[in-house]
Amino acid sequence: MTTVTGKLYGVGLGPGDPNLMTVAAVKAIASADVIAYHSARHGRSIARSIAAEHIREDHVEERLMYPLTVETTDHPGGYRGALNDFYEEAAARLAAHLDAGRTVAVLAEGDPLFYGSYQHMHKRLADRYDTTVIPGVTSVSAAAARLGEPLCEAEEVLTIIPGTLPEDELTARLAGTDSAVVMKLGRTFPTVKRALERAGRLDDARYVERAFMPGERTERLTDVDPESVPYFSVAVLPSRIDQEPPVRETGEVTVVGTGPAGAPWLTPESRGALVNADVLVGYTTYLDRVPVLRPGQIRHGSDNKVESERAEFALDLARRGRKVAVVSGGDPGVFAMATAVLEVACEPEYADVPVRVLPGVTAANAAAAAAGAPLGHDYATISLSDRLKPWDVIEARLRAAASADLVIALYNPGSKSRTHQVAAARDLLLELRAPETPVVVARDVGGPEQSVRVLTLKTLDPAEVDMRTLLLIGSSQTRAVERGDGRTITWTPRRYG
């Protein structure tokens, strides 16, 4: 005999105004035998108040009253344990109606599966009963509508963030996105405001309270009294497309490291600096690695041999009120743009221009991670380029590092115009290192043509090395071992001797 059970509806009611309920939501309530809704301990339910005109006298009402909100509890599982028991008990109550063949409509403010209480019923019941979820207008859409500003356009990314996250996490996520909505303000408001300020987005932020509900309020977030903020409020960073850059007396220059291969290697702080910049300046190849962050940004690309001119150009823009991001590959302080910018910034005419340097994943660390852990002990980094320093200086540093038994990371090993350096460095190192010393040959790490091989010093072929290659020369302690999957990994023990 087949048992006929009832149907479960998760009914989204929208942000608060009954006129924003969908036709489908009204129909689901009309067809239900049981109307269920969550409430706080005072017994009042916002969801029920929204749907009140559609609830009939013959409806069976199930009020699912939370045992606690933020009060302390003596439950052995703590706050989460007490809530879980409540959800289990509430689901059991609804299951009894469904088993009796009744149709149950669970009311939910906003959308049932967007930070809503209904989702806890859904996870416990939807696999056992015929279930339909009726979507509703979310507080995110309601807030944007009340602000009357586009939330996101074109290629912009919208991030929705609970304000209950730790401040550092909030800061990172706000810095690294285009548009955002921060939910669950209330007591979290001071933390969210500090995070917005740290992310450089406070001036963009808007505040919306009780959208489409009695007591609605909208204003700039900087004007809000923290003591006045209820739980039903959000912070909004709307679209910045078509926004004119603010007029400033003096801008700033931020030197940003993109890592060895662009977007996947960007830190949240670096991404935020790129998002917030009015102008991006850099070597064209590195600029091309930067994703399209904000329409309207200006990009100035140039050749890789005009670092001082590029730095001066960026500082001049900042002096005229622009926020400039100087884009550098890898880490900007490792054979890259930070030195060039700081050198020019120390000239008298730029003394008042703020300059920041943000770290990035440098090529040596990226190559080492791809190969294992060859930089696990002391190491030196040396550029083989003799364009800015003579070769005899490079030779002296190679000898010193090799004599000290340091692992050596060799940057800029070769190019079309520099072909002898790798062979000369290899021959020099063979005088001081065993021929079987492991060598990591890492090319285009993080890029589409990534190749990471482990050779020995005596088998290193200079013809296989170009400007996109980085070499890691092991010490006497560095090990290279072939594992079961056929991959050779390298590491340098932290213990020496």
Tell me the mean pLDDT in the region 213-239. Answer: 94
Tell me the mean pLDDT in the region 133-150. Answer: 96
CA distance 12 to 26: 10
CATH number at residue 24: 3.40.1010.10
Tell me: pLDDT of 3 over 80: no
In the chain, % of residues over pLDDT 90 = 75
Residues 459-485 pLDDT 10s? 999 988 988 899 999 999 999 999 988
Upper half-sphere CA count for residue 260 (Cβ side, 13 Å): 24
Q: Is 103 exposed, middle or buried (0-12, 13-18, 19+ CB in 10 A)?
A: middle
The string of DSSP letters for 23-49 reads HHHHHHHHH-SEEEEEE-TT---HHHH
CATH number at residue 464: 3.30.950.10
Question: Pick from 358, 381, 406: which residue ends a domain?
Answer: 358
Please work out, in degrees rounded to the nearest 5, the angle formed at the alpha carbon of residue 316 by the alpha carbons of 315 and 318.
65
**148 part of a folded domain:** yes
Q: Which has the closest alpha carbon to 350: 308, 411, 389, 386?
A: 308
Is 329 found in the same domain as 405?
no
Is 259 found in the same domain as 169?
no
Q: Would you tell me how many other CB atoms lie within 10 Å of the CB of residue 251?
A: 23
Is 233 found in the same domain as 213?
yes
**496 part of a folded domain:** no
**244 part of a folded domain:** no
Q: Enumerate residues 6+ apart whose C-beta is below 8 A from 87.
A: 120, 121, 124
- Give the chain's end-to-end CA distance (angstroms, integer): 78
Q: Enumerate residues 6+ apart whose C-beta is below 8 A from 391.
A: 421, 424
Give how far Cα 352 sits from Cα of 167, 278, 347, 484, Å.
30, 19, 10, 58
Residue 315 pLDDT level (bands cut at 50, 70, 90): very high
Residue 222 pLDDT level (bands cut at 50, 70, 90): very high
Is 230 found in the same domain as 277?
no
Q: Is 449 exposed, middle or buried (0-12, 13-18, 19+ CB in 10 A)?
A: exposed
Q: Would you tell me how many other CB atoms lie within 10 Å of the CB of residue 426?
A: 21
Is 181 found in the same domain as 130?
no
Confidence (pLDDT) at 2: 53
CA distance 208 to 221: 9
- In sequence order, what E strands does 203-297 have? 206-209, 217-220, 233-237, 252-257, 279-283
Is 153 found in the same domain as 228?
yes
**263 part of a folded domain:** yes
Tell me the mean pLDDT in the region 271-288. Answer: 90
Confidence (pLDDT) at 303: 83
Is 266 found in the same domain as 177?
no
Confidence (pLDDT) at 364: 96
Confidence (pLDDT) at 77: 66
**Token pair listed for 378:** 């002391």
- In sequence order, what E strands does 354-495 have? 355-358, 372-373, 379-383, 407-411, 438-443, 451-456, 469-473, 479-482, 488-491
Tell me: pLDDT of 164 over 70: yes
Domain count, the chain: 4
Buried b (16+ CB within 10 A) or exposed e, 361-372: bbbbbbbbbbbb
Is 335 found in the same domain as 264?
yes
Most confident range (mean pLDDT) of 36-45, 71-80, 283-292, 393-402 is: 393-402
Tell me: pLDDT of 204 over 60: yes
Residue 1 pLDDT level (bands cut at 50, 70, 90): very low
Q: What is the mean pLDDT of the chain?
A: 92
Question: Pick from 358, 373, 407: which residue ends a domain?
Answer: 358
**157 part of a folded domain:** yes
Tell me the mean pLDDT in the region 98-115. Answer: 96
Question: Pick from 112, 137, 162: which residue ends a domain?
Answer: 137
Is 175 found in the same domain as 262?
no
Confidence (pLDDT) at 174: 93
Is 259 found in the same domain as 152?
no
Is 214 found in the same domain as 133?
no
**Token pair listed for 234:** 């959000």
Q: Is 483 exposed, middle or buried (0-12, 13-18, 19+ CB in 10 A)?
A: exposed
CA distance 71 to 217: 28
88 Rama class: left (phi>0) / alpha (psi -120 to 50) / beta? alpha
**247 part of a folded domain:** no
Backbone angles phi, psi at 465, to 5 degrees: -110, 130
Residues 66-93 pLDDT 10s? 886 555 566 676 777 888 899 999 999 9
Q: Would you tell me how many other CB atoms lie within 10 Å of the CB of residue 419?
A: 13
Residues 4-53 pLDDT 10s? 789 999 999 999 999 999 999 999 999 999 999 999 877 789 999 999 99
Q: What does the radius of gyration of the chain's CA atoms come to, in whole angstroms?
A: 30
**411 part of a folded domain:** yes
Tell me the mean pLDDT in the region 174-190. Answer: 93
Decide if 120 contacts 144 (C-beta within 8 A).
no
Q: Which has the closest alpha carbon to 337: 359, 367, 369?
A: 359
Is 330 found in the same domain as 209?
no
**2 part of a folded domain:** no
Q: Quote the domain boundaries for residue 150.
A: 141-237
